[in-house]
């Protein structure tokens, strides 16, 4: 029987799992070996260990979807590649830009839950109740399958290569989602970033104006320094010298005429 106490675990990597690939395989195996068990991923935020998302593996995808949709009143459903998404909204307006909780599920059986820590803690509290509903449906399905075991042809199961391909693609999408969430958590607030970028643009524009004004002023000063004014001291001296030379020539001419 399912316990009604909140349950949440953390995947602990053994010392031998040092590479990213090894840690990913260990996490995948841990989830598969412990179906319908809630695991949390943590990040360091402002020096504090904070829940970043929840993740669990199941073989009862439809049952979990039904249980979640029954628990939450306002759910926006959409399909994505190799799975789907349940966006838990605050009211009937279904504002998916400001959800209470975002639940992404994949065909391989992985459920990924994302939002702030308060929303994650709220889901953790109701997780045992949801799990109890899923286990009840699993028991009923098992009984029905046993009773109708010989009815109708058995559908062929996918080949191992198809399973591997689906699992690899689903894992890739899951890794990308986790990477995106962790990157966004490390980025500063978007509004502050836009203000900072605008301030840099304004400072750059002002710097260009100041540089242009300085170049113009230097050019004018240079032109003034190289231009000789008519009544400048040098020009006056040259003029007086020319007058003395002219007077000397006149006196010499007069003396010769005598």
pLDDT tens digits for range 197-239: 777 777 777 777 777 777 887 788 777 777 655 555 545 555 5
How long a stretch of residues is the chain? 258
Torsion angles phi and psi, residue 91, rounded to 5: -145, -175
**pLDDT bucket at 17, cuts 50 / 70 / 90:** confident
d(CA 105, CA 111): 4
Please give the pLDDT value at position 2: 42
Q: Residue 1 burial (CB < 10 Å; 0-12/13-18/19+)?
A: exposed
10 Å CB burial of residue 51 (0-12, 13-18, 19+) is: buried
Q: Where are the domains of the chain?
A: 20-144+163-192
Name residue 113's beta-bridge partners. 54, 103
The whole-number pLDDT of residue 60 equals 94
Average pLDDT, stretch 125-131?
A: 95
> What global pTM score does this model have?
0.54
Q: Please tell me the predicted confidence (pLDDT) of residue 129.
A: 95
Give the residue-averaged pLDDT of 8-25.
86
Strand order through the sheet with 83-88: 39-45, 48-57, 110-114, 101-106, 83-88, 75-80
25 or 224, higher pLDDT: 25
Which pair of structure tokens corresponds to residue 6?
Answer: 């909140």
Please state which of the ranges 19-23, 34-38, 85-89, 96-100 shows the lowest mean pLDDT: 19-23
Which of 27-36, 86-95, 136-145 comes out lowest in average pLDDT? 136-145
């Amino acid at each position: 029987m399912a316990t009604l106490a909140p349950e949440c675990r953390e995947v602990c990597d053994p010392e031998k799992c040092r590479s990213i690939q090894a840690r990913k395989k260990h996490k995948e195996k841990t989830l598969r070996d412990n179906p319908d068990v809630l695991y949390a991923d943590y990040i360091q935020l402002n020096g504090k260990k904070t829940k970043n998302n929840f993740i669990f593996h199941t073989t009862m995808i439809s049952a979990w979807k039904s249980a979640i949709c029954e628990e939450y009143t306002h759910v926006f459903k959409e399909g994505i590649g190799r799975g789907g998404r349940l966006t838990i909204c605050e009211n009937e307006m279904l504002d998916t830009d400001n959800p209470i909780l975002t639940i992404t599920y994949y065909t391989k059986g992985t459920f990924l839950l994302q939002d702030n820590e308060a929303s994650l803690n709220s889901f953790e509290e109701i997780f045992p109740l949801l799990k109890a509903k899923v286990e009840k449906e699993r028991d009923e399905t098992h009984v029905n399958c046993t009773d109708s075991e010989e009815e109708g042809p058995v559908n062929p199961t996918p080949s191992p290569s198809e399973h591997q391909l689906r699992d690899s693609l689903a894992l890739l999408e899951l890794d990308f989602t986790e990477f995106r969430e962790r990157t966004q958590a490390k980025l500063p607030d978007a509004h502050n970033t836009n203000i900072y970028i605008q301030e840099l643009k304004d400072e750059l524009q002002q710097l260009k104006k100041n540089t242009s004004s300085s170049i113009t002023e230097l050019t004018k000063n240079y032109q003034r320094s190289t231009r000789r004014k008519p009544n400048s001291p040098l020009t006056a001296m040259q003029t007086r010298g020319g007058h003395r030379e002219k007077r000397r020539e006149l006196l010499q001419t007069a003396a010769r005429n005598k």
